[in-house]
Structure 1
Amino acid sequence: MKVLQGIGASPGIAIGRLFFFMGAIHPVDRQLIEDPPAEIERFEVARQASIDSLHQIYERALEEIGPKDSAIFQIHAMLLDDLDYVASVTQIIQEEHVNAEYAVYQTAMRLFDVFSSIDDDYMRQRGADVLDISKRLLRTLTGAKEQNLDEVNGQVIIAADDLMPSETIRLDQSKALAFVTREGSRHSHTAILARTMGIPAVVGLEDAFDCLADRVEVIVDGMTGEVCVEPDAETLERYIARRGQYLAACKRLAKLRDQPSITKDGMRVEITANVGSIGDVEIAVKNGAEGIGLFRSEGLYLGRNEVPTEGEQFVIYREALERMPGKRVIIRTLDLGADKRAPCLGLLREDNPAMGSRAIRYCLSHPALFCTQLRALLRASVYGHLALLIPMVTSLEEVHRTKALIEEIKRDLDNEGIPYANNYEFGVMIETPAAAMISDRLAQEVDFFSVGTNDLTQYTLATDRTNRSLSALYSPRHPAVLGLVRMAVENGRRHGVWTGVCGESATDPDLIPVFLSMGVAELSVAPPAILDVREKVRALDLTKARLDGRTKGF
């Protein structure tokens, strides 16, 4: 037996035999051709067929996993229309008189090398996307069929160098027990899709992947990142027991779906969901969310050639509100920039994008875009309990300018006879040290605070949250971060403003009692984490937790 260590990308334990999915891009023979224009035309036909195929995959994915996670297929279709990509393939065919397959392969590997050399996770992922679209093109040009699990009897564990998003979504989920890959990270598209689909996954095995063989029995632990190859009887028995415990825990947590989130000493806290699509809202409902604590509206903009219209946005916001009757739905206004880029907005590259034109800064400098979203939100407000959330606030002026735009839109809606609700809530995110430091004044302008601990930690500690080499320095438990959170909570409470936490630390078992002891009224987490956090809250006695907190240094 061998135990391989990778990255746990999607929770769960799977036991089964490997099925090698040979999806990697392979070298292509260089063949001389006599008619470059005809070969370029053959490339163009294949390129358009590939784009059409991606549009079909997108429509299927839209139904299965929602708009946020399916947007990658729109991005891939756009990459096949990229002028640099098309020009490179065309130029190689024209100048070297070679076959289209070879030109596509050379272009793919050149661009992949360029993207892979950039020390940025987002840009490295673009390299994987280039390989994905190139593989699709090569299959179309050669007439090769896409691999699938149709001929597999029973369920298997998929092994691949790396599963591209289009390959992942097309796999027969009823036959896929788990994913195991050589490449990849927790933040790759495939990892995200695996979590959305509820399939255990271990990625990033690197050289250890070579220890795997087709049809060999393995155990995949998506929580620890371990892959046990040809497990002995004792190990198999241990993991069967662990899988049973995991499933029993899931079943136990399911009983808390409709239970209140109240500590043993009587403090009530709302446990809500962070979502990015209507599909996520449905998952939140199934997991007993007490509302939506963060609806990331930028998901509507990602992977699009055109900005979503007011009507399109209105339909999404209304549906989110209608699916949460009587419960608060906090919709964050557009938060694009930094590592989140939307082709439809034409965002400029910046040397330091995390501190550049993003979120409320971008919106206020593009008032027409911002007002379109605000109109859609106000129109949808009559269908439920809406709360508007403004991201990346650093000054009172940003709040005043946003409120002025809202009042102007209200006057326009009144003149047009379009209804809107006046009982919506208006809040700001506390995710910069500046916002925390002026929270006493901000509290006089808003109804609630939402603490984004991910960015607050990054900006407070001057530590890039995406830089793996600095991961040891990135800690939401740092006294400086917790001091700023406490400052915001206390300033809010003095003015009757409630505070929620929507960063990843809202699931930290050590920080949950700290936040509640401060007076945090809401914890917003990923939908699958709702019941686990509820169980932790219900087991708390805050009197004891305060004492424990002193000994832990919180």
Structure 2
Amino acid sequence: MSITWSGIPASPGVAIGPARIWVKKPTVGPRRQGSRPAEEKARFEAALQESRDDLTRLYTKALEAAGGETAAIFEAHQAMLDDPSFHALVSTRIEEHGLSAEVAVEEAVEELASLFTRLDDPYLRQRAADVRDMGQRVIRHLVGDPLPTFPPGMPPAVIVADDLLPSDTVEFDKKSVLGFVTVQGGKTSHSAIIAQTLGIPAVVGLPPEILTEVHDHDTLIIDGETGRVIARPSPSEEAPYQQKVRDRQQWEAGLQPLIHRPTVTQDGHRVELVANIATLNDVKPALEHGAEGIGLFRTEFLFMNRDTLPSEDEQYQVYRTVVEQMAGRPTIIRTLDIGGDKEVPALHLAPEANPFLGYRAIRLCLDRPELFLTQLRALYRAAQHGPIGIMFPMVTTRREITEARRLLTAAKNDLKKKGVAVPRPPQVGIMIETPAAALMADRLAADVDFFSIGTNDLTQYTMACDRLNPTVAALYQPYHPAVLRLIRHVIEGAHAHQKWVGLCGEMASDPIAIPLLLGLGLDEFSVNPGKILPARARIAGLNRQTLRPLAEAALDLNEAEDVRQLVERALGSS
């Protein structure tokens, strides 16, 4: 006999398949008292470093699979891991109470998590899961317990769990995990947000009895739109959900003819739809989804998870491989965008209280010219093999552009002295990520060939909110008229100099934002590979002429929610 439950719809879509119960054993061993405080603190420090290495790997994996917004979750975990208040709580328990490091971490984590669970705001309450995720990682390293993973080659299944942490969710293999249901969690949990990005249906907030009523291999239906979950459904109960699955498959199939088509609006206006990539492995899916080029190649992966800096030849081979695989399509490569928020041992970066406003990106590169010149020489050499653009991140002043271009010329001259063939100069552009750069766009455009607007950072700097800080995350509003006005100013400033403008933040694939960006005159949309075809379909269904007045109307509104409602009334949300 079937059983039906109602939970919280967390990620849209329907999944039908055999259940797999996911149970994680406790991580803290029986030892409560520590040996000597100095030894316990040394164990704690070693576990912290191992956890940092884990988070660097998860950050890279999330960046590849789901983009910058999802990867930022693990930047937040890194910030929690290095939080002095967390370290102080652990040290106090070790030094004054004589506890073992693992028990001290467990107690400190629960104290910090309880601060979130007592809050009224549901979004902030869900951040307790992130604190516990970070803590469980440290504890597992302390007790030598392998981090739980889904077995490779696991048959496709619907995961049933008490809770799934963000690090669990990002490890999912989409071929094996059809969907998931949990007792804990909410729509704003980071596991739910990752599931939405990965396109995995999910329902959370279910009654605890689902863990005992459902068994491995039971057929399970989950509806991520309504929150309905059915175990052991009858054929008549299963039939309408099978139809929903077929409808979804038909919609996805309908996108396939768009792979080889240009990106054109209803009224014939063409824009470029290109891909964001983070590693060599991303090039193939970008091409398979119909990318017209690479709008953002993040080069940070070359510097992470290692103790030495990559050589010029190593970098050149990677850049050359990407350029050759793109077969004449343009490739925009961003120079190193790393600061104290990322673990790069070879750079010996000191932790900063606010790394997003600190020593990072172009600031770091200009301060370490040999590091920068090595990358610039490699990029110049790669330009022999196809069209590339070099993009400098986090620019705030014209002086930074001048100095970066001076070093680019020096890199070219170095190569000429070595007898290396130097092609015509690649295009040079900058990321517009700060209000300072946005407001000076009409001046900065004279010094570059293009702009790429990084709306993830531009939004947080404009709204004066750390997007990784859950207490102010509600202020992170890409639709806010203040952000939209800056985007318009950037586009108008560039176009006045006949320069093109792209956008490589999450906004570029947002079905609400796309009409506004078209109306404002954006030339290029750079998105994660899996979002190329939905974005192309969205653009193909719009008339650019009618979007100009819509965008202007949005600029005159007061709040982000007003903008959302305006677009939905005019065009719908998808």
Q: One fold, TM greater than 0.5?
A: yes
Q: Which residue of 2 aligns with 1:413?
A: 415
* Alpha-carbon separation, structure 1, partners of 2:148 and 2:331: 41
Instruction: Verify the 8 A CA contact 2:323 2:386 in the aligned structure 1.
Output: yes
**For the residues of structure 2 that align with 1:472 and 1:405, how far apart are their CA atoms?**
40
In the TM superposition, what is the alpha-carbon distance from 1:389 to its structure 2 partner? 0.8
Q: Give the aligned partner of residue 275 of structure 2.
A: 273
Aligned to 1:453: 455
Q: What does residue range 416-435 of structure 1 map to in structure 2 within 5 Å?
A: 416-435=418-437
1:14 alignment partner AA: A
Deviation of 1:377 after TM superposition, in Å, equals 1.5
Say which is worse superposed, 511-520 or 177-186, in terms of deviation.
177-186
| SS of the residue 2:452 aligns to | strand
Identity rate of aligned residues, in percent? Answer: 34
Q: Report the counterpart of residue 333 of structure 1 in structure 2.
A: 335
Cα distance, 1:150 vs structure 2:
9.1
Residue 261 of structure 1 aligns to which amino acid in structure 2? T
Residue 257 of structure 1: CA displacement? 0.3
User: Which residue of structure 1 lines up, in the alignment, with residue 442 of structure 2?
Assistant: 440
- Picking from 502, 505, 516, the partner of 2:504 is 502
**Paired residue for 1:99?**
none
The SS at the match of 1:457 is helix
Query: Kindly tell me: are residues 116 and 285 of structure 1, through their superposed partners in 2, closer, same or farther at Cα, counting changes over 3 Å?
Result: farther
Q: Confirm or deny that 1:177 pairs with 2:182.
A: no
Tell me the SS of whatever aligns to 1:327.
coil
Once the two structures are superposed, residues 288-319 of structure 1 have per-residue CA deviations (whole angstroms, 9 ceiling, x without a partner) of 00001111112322333333332322222111
Pair 1:200 & 2:213 matched: no
For residues 86-137 of structure 1, give each alpha carbon's deviation from its aligned partner in whole angstroms, at most 9, with x where no partner exists: xx99x98xx98xxxxx957436525645875898999985863552464477
Q: Which moved more, 1:131-140 or 1:390-399?
A: 131-140
The answer (yes or no) to whether the contact 1:155–1:174 under 8 Å persists in 2 is: no
Asked if structure 2 preserves the Cα contact closer than 8 Å seen for 1:501 and 1:524, the reply is yes
Distance 1:168 1:357, change over 3 A: closer
Give the alignment's Cα RMSD to 1 decimal: 4.5
Match of 1:263 in 2: 265
Q: Which amino acid aligns with 1:13?
A: V
CA contact (8 A) 1:23 1:161 kept: no
* 2-structure distance, mates of 1:392, 1:103: 43
Q: Structure 1 residue 320: deviation in Å?
A: 1.3
Q: Indicate how the Cα distance of structure 1 residues 129 and 238 shifts in structure 2: closer, same or farther if over 3 A, else same.
A: same
Q: TM-score, normalised by structure 1?
A: 0.77
State the aligned residue count: 512
Aligned counterpart, 2:313 = 311
3-state SS of 2:331 partner: strand
Contact 1:313/1:373, CA 8 A, preserved across alignment: yes
Q: 1:289 to 1:218 in 2, by over 3 A?
A: same
1:543 offset after TM fit, Å?
Answer: 1.9
Q: How does 1:229-240 map to 2 (within 5 A)?
A: 229-230=230-231, 236-240=238-242
Counterpart of 2:517 in structure 1 is: 515
| C-alpha distance 463-176 of structure 1, shift in aligned 2 (>3 A) | closer
Matched ranges for 1:121-270 at <5 A? 128-129=133-134, 131-132=136-137, 134-135=139-140, 138=143, 155-159=157-161, 161-162=163-164, 165=167, 169=171, 175-181=176-182, 182=184, 200=200, 202=202, 205=204, 211-213=210-212, 214-215=214-215, 217-221=219-223, 224=225, 226=227, 228-230=229-231, 236-270=238-272
Q: Return the offset for 1:159.
A: 2.8
Cα distance between partner residues in 1 of 2:554 and 2:534: 22
Q: Which range is displaced more, 508-517 or 293-302?
A: 508-517
In the TM superposition, what is the alpha-carbon distance from 1:551 to its structure 2 partner? 5.3
Listed one character per residue, the Cα deviations across residues 7-55 of structure 1 (whole Å, up to 9, x for unaligned) are: 43xx64312343222224344334999xx99xx9xx99xx99xx9xx99
2:202 partner amino acid: V
CA 292–250 in structure 1, closer or farther in 2 if over 3 Å, else same: same
Unmatched 5+ residue regions in structure 1? 97-101
Is the counterpart of residue 5 in structure 1 residue 2 in structure 2?
A: no
Which residue is 1:109 aligned to?
106
Contact (CA 8 Å) 1:132, 1:164: kept in 2 or not? no
Counterpart mapping for 1:44-63 below 5 A: none
- The offset of 1:516, in angstroms, is 2.2
Residues 265 and 539 of structure 2 are in contact (CA less than 8 Å); yes or no, is this contact kept in structure 1? yes
Shift of 1:151: 12
Distance 1:103 1:221, change over 3 A: farther
Comparing 343-352 with 416-425, which one deviates more in the overlay?
A: 343-352
Are 2:10 and 2:192, in contact at CA under 8 Å, matched by a contact in 1?
no
Q: Deviations over 1:353-374 (max 9, x none)?
A: 2222221112212222222222
Residues 529 and 349 (structure 1), Cα distance of their counterparts in 2 relative to 1, 3 Å cut:
same
CA distance in 1, matches of 2:111, 2:413: 51
TM-score relative to the length of structure 2:
0.75
Label 1:207 to 1:361 Cα distance change in 2 as closer, same or farther (>3 A): farther
Q: Against the structure 1 CA distance between its residues 122 and 292, is the aligned structure 2 distance closer, same or farther, given a 3 Å change threshold? A: farther
CA distance in structure 1 between the partners assigned to 2:306 and 2:205 by the alignment: 33
Deviation at residue 417 of structure 1 after TM alignment: 1.6
For the 8 Å contact 2:519–2:551, the answer to whether it is kept is no
